[in-house]
Amino acid sequence: MNNYKLIIFLALAVIVTACKNDTQVKNPPKISLEIPVFNEDMAYRFIEKQLSFGPRVPNTAAHDSCAEWLKREFYELGARVLIQHADVKAYTGEVLKAKNIIAVYNPDAKRRIMLAAHWDTRHMAEWDADPDRREKPIMGADDGGSGVGVLLEIARNLKAYKMDYLGVDIVLFDAEDCGQPNGGGGFEEQQNTWCLGAQHWSKNMHVKDYKPMYGILLDMVGAKDAYFGREAESMKYAPDVVAKVWKEAQRAGYGSYFDYAEIPGLIDDHIYVNQIAKIKMIDIVNRPPGSKTGFGHYWHTHEDNIDVIDKKTLKAVGQTVLNVIYKESVGAL
């Protein structure tokens, strides 16, 4: 385990008000901010653990078992854990027993950041090369597993390196990947069939009048040579947050992953958080240029297994997000 940590020193200006006159201390005190080093090996293990349950499709035993593990894991990592149960209807008419999993750190802090990913996996593999396997659920190592793995490793650091001035809420959305495939999948075309857990949460937030400063969504953040452009919907709703995150990625040396080019928008959990909950949220999502589907070659196929995961990509995303939240905690961004 890597026990090294990045330490930066920040000068805090102290303003002393005395009766009628304000005086500023000439030599403001310095505080040290310890930014933990993201452990990509741990994130990788968290992904492997999710895959050990099998496809995490709602209304299955694997889904239930993984939910229990996630709940225990976050609890052991020092979070206040909430499970938001929701009956949501899929495009097939089936009622899905969805579970949004929420891990709260530093609950008394007024200034808060929201981190999110979806933890369910696709119930079909409509883009698989083998037609006989297209109706079978996928493992979702990257599409589902990677975002959760990164957030669990971030949670491990939140326990070890506590922040006094910032709270973090990790929300794992369910039923994101249960949407209607192109062509309807044998059913009449419907609207808003994706991101069902996020839709429910956005209408029923876990805290009344919940208003974090902003949110960061992670989706497909573990594949080799991933390409994270500035997603159009993120730029529409939260360009300032995109600027913070991409600037920090560049500072940390991950510019080969985080490109300043704008990429097409997509329907993802952040859309509903922005539109319904009115919380600024961006999406860090792998959308390689020239892709036939708009995503990685493994997207919605049975190739989305542990073999597509690259620890260097996990490191790039995880360290960038850690840097952002720890610097934000003392107003250093």
* DSSP result, 243-269: HHHHHHHHHTT-TTTEEEEEE-----H
Lowest mean per-residue pLDDT among 11-20, 181-190, 274-283: 11-20
Give yes or no for residue 26 having a pLDDT over 70.
Answer: no
pLDDT band of residue 31 (cuts 50, 70, 90) is: low
Residue 223: what pLDDT?
Answer: 98
Lowest mean per-residue pLDDT among 24-38, 245-259, 285-299: 24-38
94-114 pLDDT per residue, tens:
999 999 999 999 999 999 999
Calculate the dihedral angle through the C-alpha atoms of 258, 262, 268, 274, rounding to the nearest 10 degrees. 100
CA distance 237 to 268: 13
Q: Which domain holds residue 97?
A: 39-328
Taken in order 110, 317, 120, 261, is the CA torsion positive or negative? positive
Residue 94: what pLDDT?
Answer: 97
Residue 160: what pLDDT?
Answer: 96
- The tokens for 273 are 């958080």
Decide if 205 is inside a domain: yes
Number of H helices, E strands in the chain: 8, 12
Tokens 């949407």, located at residue: 179
Q: pLDDT averaged over the chain?
A: 92
pTM higher than the cut 0.85 = yes
140-150 pLDDT per residue, tens:
999 999 999 99
- The tokens for 312 are 């260097």
Decide if 240 is inside a domain: yes
Query: Are β-strands 95-105 and 167-173 bridged in parallel, bridged antiparallel, or unpaired?
Result: antiparallel
Q: What is the mean pLDDT of residues 36-44?
A: 98
Decide if 137 is inside a domain: yes
Give me Rg for the CA atoms of the chain. 20
Decide if 3 is inside a domain: no
Decide if 30 is inside a domain: no
- The tokens for 180 are 């209607």
- The tokens for 241 are 């947050």
* Number of domains making up the chain: 1
Surface-to-core class of residue 236, CB atoms within 10 Å of its CB (0-12 exposed, 13-18 middle, 19+ buried) = exposed
Decide if 6 is inside a domain: no
Contact 84, 201 (CB under 8 A): yes
CA distance 183 to 147: 28
Give yes or no for residue 305 having a pLDDT over 80.
Answer: yes
Decide if 18 is inside a domain: no
Give yes or no for residue 11 having a pLDDT over 80.
Answer: no
Give yes or no for residue 309 having a pLDDT over 60.
Answer: yes
- The tokens for 95 are 């009622």
Surface-to-core class of residue 206, CB atoms within 10 Å of its CB (0-12 exposed, 13-18 middle, 19+ buried) = middle
Contact 78, 166 (CB under 8 A): no
Question: What angle do the packed helices 311-328 and 40-52 form, to 10 degrees?
Answer: 110
Decide if 270 is inside a domain: yes
Contact 197, 175 (CB under 8 A): yes
Query: Are β-strands 5-11 and 30-36 bridged in parallel, bridged antiparallel, or unpaired?
Result: antiparallel
Give yes or no for residue 15 having a pLDDT over 70.
Answer: no
Q: What is the mean pLDDT of residues 204-213?
A: 96
53-97 pLDDT per residue, tens:
999 999 999 999 999 999 999 999 999 999 999 999 999 999 999
Largest Cα span, the chain: 80
Residue 10: what pLDDT?
Answer: 44
* Domain CATH code at residue 157: 3.40.630.10
Query: Are β-strands 258-263 and 167-173 bridged in parallel, bridged antiparallel, or unpaired?
Result: unpaired
- In percent, the amount of the chain with pLDDT more than 70 equals 90
Give yes or no for residue 126 having a pLDDT over 60.
Answer: yes
pLDDT band of residue 332 (cuts 50, 70, 90) is: confident
